[in-house]
Amino acid sequence: MGRWAVRLGLCAVLAGLMPLADAAPTTFDPVISTALLCGDQINPAYFKDYLIRFFKEPYKTEGEAYWFKPDPAQKLYGMEMTDIYVSTEGSRYAFIGVVLREKIDSARKKMLELRGVSFQPVSGDDVLRSAQGSFLIDYNNGESKLYCVKNRI
């Protein structure tokens, strides 16, 4: 690549015309947060395209979900994420979720403090549900999952 092409590309990145690879967009928090808290429709095709655009192709397909690795510096509700997942086209359900590197009690407290969202026990202390319908569950020895799931129409 020529010197001017490199400079032009750098200028485009700095001007915000070309996104940096693997960098989460400024829309990440409102788009993903709203979906995770069941505040909007869950359109798996939209979220899959959105995640591919900003986080590359899914690194695995498992449990009727596409799994993505977020940017290590990307946080959600002040918590570190290890994974983002969205339902596949063949799933009976439409869902989106994240794995948080946070114990369920700590995640529950942060969600109440930062977002005003209360999670109440549904099935013991390791499955919690918000009034809006999102779930916060104990996962993988010290992590937690936050997700919204809906029946497909």
Is 32 a domain residue?
A: yes
- pTM score: 0.82
Domain that holds residue 140: 23-151
**pLDDT tens figures, 10-32:** 444 444 444 444 556 788 888 89
- For residue 1, tell me if it sits in a domain: no
In a domain, residue 3? The reply is: no
Q: How many domains does the chain have?
A: 1
Residue 74 domain flag: yes
The closest alpha carbon to 139, from 89, 78, 98, belongs to 98
User: How far apart (Å, rounded) are the C-alpha atoms in residues 88 and 61?
Assistant: 8
- The stretches in the chain having pLDDT less than 70 are 1-24
**Position 15 in a domain:** no
82 assigned to some structural domain: yes
Coil, helix or strand at residue 127: strand
Quick check: is 143 in a domain? yes
**Residue closest to 138 by CA, chosen among 87, 109, 100:** 100
Domain membership flag for residue 64: yes
Q: What is the pLDDT of residue 19?
A: 45
Q: From CA 95, how far away is CA 100, in angstroms rounded?
A: 16
